[in-house]
Amino acid sequence: MKIALVGYGRMGHLVHKVAEEQGHEVVSIIDPNSSEAQYNEISKDSLKDAEVAIDFTTPDSVLDNVRKVSSAKINMVVGTTGWYDQMDKVNEIVKKSGIGFIFSPNFSLGVNVFFKIIRNAAKTFNKLEDYDVYGIEYHHSRKKDSPSGTAKKLGEIILEEISRKKELQTEKLDRQIKKEELHFASVRSGEFPGTHEIGFDSEADTIKLIHTARSRKGFALGAIKAAEFVTDKKGFYTMEDMLKEMVEV
């Protein structure tokens, strides 16, 4: 593939490295804040040689980035989180432009398998009312959003599958939690690349399911796999769609 990188921070650099390791070519680096970038903005010129664009930027720039990339008829991978309140608008842009688009709160293949594991576990615990459920996540001190997109996705899965849980709480609670609430706590410190824990707790025992990222390389590799997946497609996709094509889980 010929790839345009939109955003050239830590993840952009890592995606660049992994893309070349996988035999792909980075033909454009776009970032107004990087001296290593070839272009300051997304345009037909900066995208002219690209088959797919991979976005790791900031939440407030995603909508405009999607508009510009889609106007150039380039397929797109978005790994930026924190923009999901704009989902309907992005979906509409993708549909009208006819491009292929895939996003995920976390492109790690392991995390997306973890989502499936948690969904299956939640379906089981939905029938076991003696068990309560909680979530906690850890990330490095530079992470800009809290809770993480991955934590929100895990929370959504649990609310979908455990009928007694109706509301996700991600803030500090200065009161007793209600039975219908799911509390998902966030910790930001040091160099954590990302750890997510879901626990099912009863008077008798506790069951914990944990995903710990060993490095950020897994996120970059997943983004490249997503780019390979979406290159020849049209429409709006998630990592769940990609996994269905890759494996039967």
Catalytic residue annotation: 139, 143
- Taking each helix axis from N to C terminus, what angle separates 62-71 and 87-97, rounded to the nearest 10 degrees? 0
180 touches 167 (CB < 8 A): yes
Which strand (E) or helix (H) includes residue 236? strand 235-238
Measure the CA–CA gap between 78 and 240, rounded to whole angstroms: 15
Measure the CA–CA gap between 77 and 90, rounded to whole angstroms: 12
Tell me the three state secondary structure of residue 134. Answer: strand
Phi first, then psi, for residue 186 (nearest 5°) are -125, 140
Measure the CA–CA gap between 174 and 151, rounded to whole angstroms: 21
Token representation of residue 136 = 């906690």
The number of residues in the chain equals 249
Q: For 186, which DSSP code?
A: E
Phi first, then psi, for residue 35 (nearest 5°) are -70, -15
